[in-house]
Amino acid sequence: METCKRAGRVLVVGAGQAGHQTAAYLRERGHKGPVTLIGDEGRLPYERPPLSKAYLKAEVEASDLWLRPETFYERNAIERVTGTAVALDLATRTVRLADASLHPYDHLVLATGARARAVPVPGAHLCGVHRLRTLADADALRSALPGARHVVVIGAGFVGLEFAAAAREMGHRVTVVEALPRPLARVVSAPMAEYFARLHQERGNELLLGQGVARFHGNREGRVTAVELTDGRRLPADLVLAGVGAVPRTELAEGAGLEVAGGIVVDGRLLTSDPHVSAIGDCAAFPHPRALARLRVESVQNAVDQARLVADRLTGSDRTYDDLPWFWSTQFSARLQIAGLGGGHDTELVLGGDAGSFSVLLFRDEELVAVESVGRPADHMAARRILAQNIPPALWEAAVPGFTLQGHLRSRAGRPVPAAA
Ligand SMILES: Cc1cc2nc3c(=O)[nH]c(=O)nc-3n(C[C@H](O)[C@H](O)[C@H](O)COP(=O)(O)OP(=O)(O)OC[C@H]3O[C@@H](n4cnc5c(N)ncnc54)[C@H](O)[C@@H]3O)c2cc1C
Residue 247 beta carbon below 6 angstroms from any ligand 1 atom: no
pLDDT of the residue at 415: 52
> Is the pLDDT reported for residue 2 higher than 80?
no
Q: How does pLDDT run across 378-415, given as a tens digit for each residue?
A: 999 999 999 999 999 999 999 999 999 999 999 987 55
Per-residue pLDDT tens over the stretch 40-66: 999 999 999 999 999 999 999 999 999
Q: Per-residue pLDDT for 227 more than 80?
A: yes
Q: Which atom from ligand 1 is nearest to the alpha carbon of 52?
A: 1
Ligand 1, atom 29, lies closest to the CA of 16
Per-residue pLDDT, 5: 44
Residue closest by Cα to atom 5 of ligand 1: 49
pLDDT of res. 283 = 98
Ligand 1 contact via 36 beta carbon (within 6 Å): no
**How confident is the model over 331-340, as a mean pLDDT?**
97
What number is the average pLDDT over the span 140-145?
A: 97
Confidence of residue 3 (pLDDT cuts 50, 70, 90): very low
- Scored b (16 or more CB within 10 A) or e, 310-348 reads bbebbbbeeeebebbbbbbbbbbebbbbbbbbbbebebe
* Residue 341: pLDDT band with limits 50, 70, 90: very high
pLDDT tier for residue 35 given thresholds of 50, 70 and 90? very high
Write out pLDDT tens, residues 183-221.
999 899 999 999 999 999 999 999 999 999 999 999 999
pLDDT higher than 80, residue 417: no
- Asked if residue 331 has its Cβ within 6 Å of ligand 1, the reply is no
Q: How far is the CA of 16 from the centre of ligand 1 (A)?
A: 6
What percent of the chain is modeled with pLDDT above 90?
93
* Average predicted confidence (pLDDT) for the chain: 95
Which pLDDT band, with edges at 50, 70 and 90, does 420 fall under?
Answer: very low
Residue 355: what pLDDT?
74
Residues 6+ apart with CB under 8 A from 394: 366
Percent of the chain whose pLDDT exceeds 70: 96
| Distance between CA atoms of residues 44 and 15, nearest Å | 8
Give CA separation, 147 vs 143, 144, 151, 162, in Å.
8, 6, 10, 20
pTM of the model: 0.95
For ligand 1, say whether the CB of 327 is within 6 Å of any of its atoms.
yes
| pLDDT given for residue 6 in this prediction | 52
Q: How far is the CA of 14 from the centre of ligand 1 (A)?
A: 9
What is the per-residue pLDDT across 61-120, written as a single tens digit (0 to 9) for each?
Answer: 999 999 999 999 999 999 999 999 999 999 999 999 999 999 999 999 999 999 999 999
Q: Which of 3-7, 130-134, 170-174, 362-366 has the lowest mean pLDDT?
A: 3-7
353 has a pLDDT exceeding 90: no
CA of 3 to the centre of ligand 1 (A): 29
